[in-house]
Structure 1
Amino acid sequence: MELRHLRYFVAVAESGSLKLAAEKRLHTAQPSLSRQIRDLETEIGVKLLERSAHGVALTEAGRAFLDHARSSLAAAQAAAEAARRVALPARTVFAIGFVVGHEVDCIPPTTNILRDELPGLELRISSGFSVDLADALQRGSLDVAFLRREPVADLEYRLVLQEPIIAIVPSGHRLAAASLVHADDLAGETYIGISPIPRVLRGVVKAYLATSASPIVPAFEIDNFAMAVSLVAAKRGIALLPASARGYLPASVVSRPLGGTQPTIDLVLGYRAANRSGVLGRFLTNLGTLSAQIRKPQPTAW
């Protein structure tokens, strides 16, 4: 078993799709990635992923393996960094994490500001689920992260933007022609719910659905945007996701704003309260400029 097998598996598990992992995360061909995952499953002797037309989902064995795979990759990275620190002259490193879905909006202005302020700075960039980014901040493996307001001790948050929650519906669905989608409109529909993993998003959506006169029971629960969009298209279902999910939508799926008191979810910049890095201090002084650039209207239509 090689580290690349672990890296490929983690990318697929987090993306919920072999195609997305191959194209967006690993920049490799999908058939090659599929073969590497099959080789890994053969070596371990158990099935790690359930494959379907809607994407991939972790088996119970896959969920157990994912935690250890992440730990192994983190340990390998830490070992490499330790070796580099000994062999190379000291250089200031600043590690930034981005919650999945916000890389396109956040990475360019973030890196531009830091390079303008500190041109000799070495930037290390990663993306992942909000809960994992919060854990990385707490461990000190990230300096800052764009994430949700996770209830984690010793972290401080600064608001970057309030992201609206929107409805994701099939393009031929009756609600695709609606100017607004209300909570009551989901009664009787195939609702694609949120799993406990994106806990902040789950709480925001649950509170909005509680305004419906009828209980809204999920037919499926997902933990990533790609799987939600696939299920909306395949099952003629409806999902409620942050507006950043629009970047995942194929032509067969559209988004609509929500009616009533529109729910929002905070995108925040998180960092350890004990982090006294001078780079962090300079970065925080530019947060207003950064937030304004991220909030600029995007060309993608609702």
Structure 2
Amino acid sequence: MRVEPRPDVTYQVVAREPLVAVLPSDHRLAAGSVVTPLDLASESIIGFSDVPHVLRAVVDDYLRDKGIDITPSHRIDNFAMGISLVASTRGIALLPAYVEPLLPWSVVSRPLDGEPPTIELAVGYRRDNPSPVLATFLSRINMLIEAGPAGVRRSG
């Protein structure tokens, strides 16, 4: 899960996932090996709504830091909606790389040039949960972190 401030949840970050540009497979930028921030300035960008507010902040901060001022053409609440809008509107979305296995043939991803923005993936739990299963899981969390999330491309 994403680390979202909740008073009753404790988080242990297990990975930092880079965001990638997700675009139509026949888009002119799909021919390149990377997408630069300046490439995004003239494109129709699909942004996030306030629901995934952590992702919205990561993308907004990235674009602002790169000097790119964009008003999204659409706003999404989830990845399926984002992938669908990329395919149907021919826009570009910045999504975590872990969505790459979900992309249909009509949509591709490209890494962002330079240091990409990242989203933290974490295990969230209630500290007051007495479950022995949770205790065993948490005692082995470092093994999970070292192994990395299954199917997720690790940066670095």
Query: 1:181 and 1:265, CA in 2 relative to 1: closer, same or farther beyond 3 A?
Result: same
Answer yes or no: is the 8 Å Cα contact 1:148–1:268 preserved in 2.
yes
Name the SS for the 1:210 alignment partner: helix
Query: 1:214 and 1:297, CA in 2 relative to 1: closer, same or farther beyond 3 A?
Result: closer
Is the aligned partner of 1:284 residue 2:138? yes
Is the aligned partner of 1:150 residue 2:4? yes
Gaps of 5+ in 2: none
Is the aligned partner of 1:220 residue 2:113? no
Query: 1:152 and 1:243, CA in 2 relative to 1: closer, same or farther beyond 3 A?
Result: same
What residue in structure 2 maps to residue 265 of structure 1?
119
Deviations 1:191-218 (A, max 9, x none): 1111110111111111111123341110
Query: 1:226 and 1:260, CA in 2 relative to 1: closer, same or farther beyond 3 A?
Result: same
What is the Cα-based RMSD across aligned positions, in Å? Answer: 1.8
Question: Displacement of 1:275 after TM fit?
Answer: 2.0
Is the aligned partner of 1:242 residue 2:99? no
What residue in structure 2 maps to residue 169 of structure 1?
23
Name the SS for the 1:167 alignment partner: strand
How far, CA to CA, are the matches of 1:298 and 1:271 in structure 2? 22
How far, CA to CA, are the matches of 1:268 and 1:294 in structure 2? 11
Answer yes or no: is the 8 Å Cα contact 1:166–1:240 preserved in 2.
yes
Answer yes or no: is the 8 Å Cα contact 1:190–1:237 preserved in 2.
yes
Deviations 1:60-108 (A, max 9, x none): xxxxxxxxxxxxxxxxxxxxxxxxxxxxxxxxxxxxxxxxxxxxxxxxx
What residue in structure 2 maps to residue 43 of structure 1?
none
What residue in structure 1 maps to residue 59 of structure 2?
205
Query: 1:198 and 1:179, CA in 2 relative to 1: closer, same or farther beyond 3 A?
Result: same
Aligned residue runs from structure 1 range 38-53, under 5 A: none
Amino acid at match of 2:72: P
Name the SS for the 1:203 alignment partner: helix
Q: Percent identity?
A: 50
Amino acid at match of 1:278: P
How far, CA to CA, are the matches of 1:227 and 1:277 in structure 2? 35
How far, CA to CA, are the matches of 1:279 and 1:298 in structure 2? 25
How far, CA to CA, are the matches of 1:244 and 1:297 in structure 2? 7
Answer yes or no: is the 8 Å Cα contact 1:225–1:248 preserved in 2.
no
Query: Normalization by structure 1: what TM-score?
Result: 0.48
Amino acid at match of 1:184: L
Question: Displacement of 1:297 after TM fit?
Answer: 5.4
How far, CA to CA, are the matches of 2:147 and 2:68 in structure 1? 40
Q: Runs in 1 of length 4+ with deviation above 4 angstroms? A: 296-299
Name the SS for the 1:208 alignment partner: helix
The size of the alignment, in residue pairs, is 153
Question: Displacement of 1:229 after TM fit?
Answer: 1.1
Query: Normalization by structure 2: what TM-score?
Result: 0.89
Which structure has more relative contact order (CA 8 Å, sep 6+)? It is 2
How far, CA to CA, are the matches of 1:269 and 1:149 in structure 2? 9
Name the SS for the 1:176 alignment partner: helix
How far, CA to CA, are the matches of 1:231 and 1:211 in structure 2? 25
Answer yes or no: is the 8 Å Cα contact 1:163–1:267 preserved in 2.
yes
Q: Say which of 13, 19, 24 aligns to 1:159.
A: 13
How far, CA to CA, are the matches of 1:237 and 1:270 in structure 2? 33
Higher helix share: 1
Gaps of 5+ in 1: 1-146
